Amino acid sequence: MTSKIIANGIIKALAIIVGIALLLFFLYEIQSVIIYLIVSLILTLITSPFVVFLKRRLKFSNTLAVVFTMFLLALAFVGLILMFVPLIVSQSENLSLLDTKTIETNATELINQFKIYLTNHHINAGKLLNDSSLTSKIDFNFIPTILNSILGTMSSFGMGLASILFITFFFLKDKIMFSKGIKRILPDNHEEQILNSFTKTNEMLSRYFIGLLIQLSIVFILYLIVLLIFGVENAFVIAFLCALLNIIPYVGPLIGSVLAAILTMISNLGGDFQHDILPTTLYVLIGFWIVQLIDNNISQPIIFSKSVNSHPLEIFLITLISGFLFGITGMIIAIPFYTMLKVIAKEFFPENKIVQLITKNI
C-alpha cells in the first residue's frame, strides 16, 4: 500500500466526517422545520381515516374531503385556543407569576401552616423544616424566566400552526402522488417489501395515534370530573395539562399528580390548612390515582394493544427500556418506533422465529 493510497483514504475519511458534521449541523439549524414535518405527519395519520370516510361514504372528491378535514382541524385548534388562553391568563393571575415576592410569601405561608399542622399532631418535622430553611434555598426568580419562555413559544405558535396546517394539507391531498414518487426511487428487488411495510406502518400508526387521542380524552374527562367535584379553580386548565402529560408513559401521570396537588394547594391558599387545603389536596390526589388505575388497567391496555397489536407487557417493557436508554423522549416515541420496526422485520425476515413470535398478530 503506497503513501498516496493512504493519504487518499485519510482525505476520504475526513471528507465523510466533515460531511456528516455539516449534515448534523444543518439538521440542527432546521430543527423547527423537522418538528413541523413530524407533527404534520402525525396529523396526516390521524385524519387520513376521516378523509377516506368522506370519500367513500359521502362521495366527496379528494380535494373537497381534504379541505373539509383541514377546516375542521383548524376550527378545533381555534376553539381550543379561545377556550384555553383566557383560562391560562386567569390561572396566571391566581399564581401571581409576574410577582416572585408574592409567590415566595405564599410558599412561606403554606410551609408555616404545614408546620403548625405537624406541631398540633406532635410531630417534630416542624423543627426539621426550620433547620432546612427551605424557602431561603429556593430561587423563585426562575418563574419569570419560564413565563418568558412560554410567551416566546406562544408568539411563534401562530406561524408554526399555519406551517403545520399547510404541510398537512398537501400531505393529505397529494398522498398518492408522494407514494408514486417514492415507488420510482425504490430498488426493484425490495420494492414490494418496502411498499407493504409503508402501508402496514401507516395503518397501524394511524390506529395508534387515534387510540392515543381517545386515551388522553378519557383521562382528561375523568381528571376534570375529579377537580370539579372538589371545587378546584380552573379545573379545565389543570385537567388539560395533567392529561397532556400522559403522553409521557408512566412518568407523565406522576408529574401530573404533583402538578395537580401544587395548583390545588395554591388555589385554596386563603383557607385553613388542616380543614381545607390539606383534605382537598389529598382528595384530588386520591381521585387522580383512581383515574390512573382505570387508565393503566382498562383503557390504556385495551386501546394500545388493539391499535398496535402488541401485548400490554410487551408495550411496558419496550417503553421501560427506551426510557432507560433515551430518557423521556425515548418513552414517548417507543411504541410508534417499535411498531414500525415490527412491520419492517415481518416483511424482510418472515422466516425468523423471533420475528414470527413478536409479529404473529400483525
CB atoms within 10 A of CB 77: 14
Query: Does the pLDDT of residue 154 top 60, yes or no?
Result: no
Torsion angle, alpha carbons of 181, 182, 188, 192, to 10: -120
Query: Does the pLDDT of residue 312 top 80, yes or no?
Result: no
Query: Does the pLDDT of residue 83 top 80, yes or no?
Result: no
Higher-pLDDT residue of 204 and 60 is 60
How much is the mean pLDDT over the chain? 75
pLDDT band at 87 (very low <50, low <70, confident <90, very high): low
Torsion angles phi and psi, residue 46, rounded to 5: -75, -40
Query: Does the pLDDT of residue 44 top 80, yes or no?
Result: yes
DSSP sequence for 170-215: HHHHTHHHHHHHHHHHS-GGGHHHHHHHHHHHHHHHHHHHHHHHHH
Structure-block grid coordinates of residue 309:
397489536
State percent of the chain over pLDDT 90: 2
pLDDT of residue 68: 92
User: Cα angle at 269 between 97 and 229, to 5 degrees?
Assistant: 105
Query: Does the pLDDT of residue 96 top 50, yes or no?
Result: no
Q: What are the helix (H) ranges across the chain?
A: 3-29, 31-57, 62-95, 100-120, 125-132, 134-137, 142-155, 157-173, 175-185, 191-229, 235-244, 251-267, 278-294, 300-308, 312-348, 353-358
Looking at mean pLDDT, say which of 94-108, 161-175, 197-211, 311-325 comes out highest: 161-175
Rounded CA-CA distance 168/37 in Å is 8
pLDDT of residue 121: 63
CA end-to-end span of the chain: 52
pLDDT of residue 140: 46
Rounded CA-CA distance 64/69 in Å is 8
SS3 361: coil
DSSP type of residue 350: T
pLDDT of residue 248: 77
pLDDT of residue 292: 86
Higher-pLDDT residue of 210 and 183 is 210
pLDDT of residue 269: 60
Higher-pLDDT residue of 122 and 25 is 25
pLDDT of residue 117: 64
pLDDT of residue 305: 67
State percent of the chain over pLDDT 70: 71
Q: Which residue in 362, 325, 331 sits closest to 344, CA to CA?
A: 362
pLDDT of residue 143: 46
Angle, nearest 10°, between helix axes 251-267 and 62-95? 50
Total-model pTM:
0.65
Q: pLDDT, tens digit, for every residue of 55-80?
A: 888 888 888 999 999 998 888 877 76
Where exactly are the structural domains of the chain? 1-95+162-173, 186-362
Rounded CA-CA distance 147/103 in Å is 14
Rounded CA-CA distance 37/163 in Å is 9
Looking at mean pLDDT, say which of 59-68, 90-99, 147-156, 175-184 comes out highest: 59-68
pLDDT of residue 95: 47
CB atoms within 10 A of CB 215: 20
pLDDT band at 155 (very low <50, low <70, confident <90, very high): low
Burial class (CB in 10 A: 0-12, 13-18, 19+), 207: buried
Q: Which of 149-158, 178-187, 352-361 has the lowest mean pLDDT?
A: 149-158
Query: Does the pLDDT of residue 126 top 60, yes or no?
Result: no
Looking at mean pLDDT, say which of 150-154, 193-197, 358-362 comes out highest: 193-197
Query: Does the pLDDT of residue 48 top 80, yes or no?
Result: yes
Q: pLDDT, tens digit, for every residue of 283-293?
A: 888 999 898 88
Query: Does the pLDDT of residue 343 top 50, yes or no?
Result: yes
Rounded CA-CA distance 292/311 in Å is 19
